[in-house]
Amino acid sequence: MILTFGQTGQVATELGLQGGGPCLSRAEADFKVPGALTAALEAFRPEAIINAVAYTAVDRAEDESDLANRVNGEAVSELALACAAANIPLVHLSTDYVFDGAGTRPWQSDDPPAPLNVYGRSKLAGEEALRAAGGTYAILRCSWVVSPHGRNFVKTMLRLGAEREALDVVADQIGAPTAARDIAAACLEIAGQLSADPSKSGTYHYQSRPFASWAEVAGEIFAQAGLACTVREIATTAYPTPARRPLNSRLDCRDTERVFGLSMPDWRASLKPILEELA
């Protein structure tokens, strides 16, 4: 049995839909409460765990650093230590925001992290704690998660694109939207392979292809949805936010492909079922 921590987030929702095993809600395993995760682990005794819980309010984290660090750092440390003690493989979702976004080269998994904001630093703390715990693990860094669930870029663009004739969208942040459905399937595959071969432990990247800007993604959303909204490309500096965003969110996924035999999906194809479900 694979146990998922998380129930309502985008990836956790998809894990539940894909029959990956029990998905624990906050009431069953609250990352804010010390000791709650260890108790849940002892109650279920799974073969592997996927952690899909995170504090993801990037801008709000600038004012809620204690909460972000608790959920993304301290709680992950507790979970990782408990998994290591019980010899349970742990797949943990992380983010491209652990990098500073400099340059244009895709980030490799062993590149030095240098997060720009509180959210990125809290996620990096969780990564470091997981590595230090000494168990079997896979850190899976993803970017720009989209799905029919929760709040995300696709749903925002559909709403605004239906309301407006033109929309300003940032064009100098480059990465790729990755469907929660694809991430969930990858997590389940990686969890199974880790159980069979703990030597595959490590840090990996999972991101759709091809690379694109937010403006290009918005244009594709409008095209597939049949919306006449025009995309006006703007610079990040024209849309200031409390938390700094990395400009380069390209991820090198070759290690993930080689070790786990996974192919990176085309985000344009993954977008289609999301739009169909939202329609």
Among all residues, which ones are annotated catalytic? 119
CB neighbour list of residue 238: distance below 8 Å, 6 or more residues apart: 168, 170
Buried b (16+ CB within 10 A) or exposed e, 62-94: bebeebbbbbbbbbbbbbbbbbbeeebbbbbbb
User: What is the C-alpha to C-alpha distance for residues 82 and 1, in angstroms, rounded to an integer?
Assistant: 17
Per-residue DSSP letter, 31: T
User: What is the C-alpha to C-alpha distance for residues 143 and 94, in angstroms, rounded to an integer?
Assistant: 9
User: What is the C-alpha to C-alpha distance for residues 230 and 166, in angstroms, rounded to an integer?
Assistant: 4
Backbone angles phi, psi at 59, to 5 degrees: -70, -40
In angstroms, what CA-CA distances link 177 with 65, 83, 126, 203?
A: 26, 30, 23, 20
Number of H helices, E strands in the chain: 10, 12
In 134-263, alpha helices (H):
153-163, 180-196, 214-225, 254-260
Task: Compute how many other C-beta atoms are within 10 angstroms of the C-beta atom of residue 155.
Answer: 17
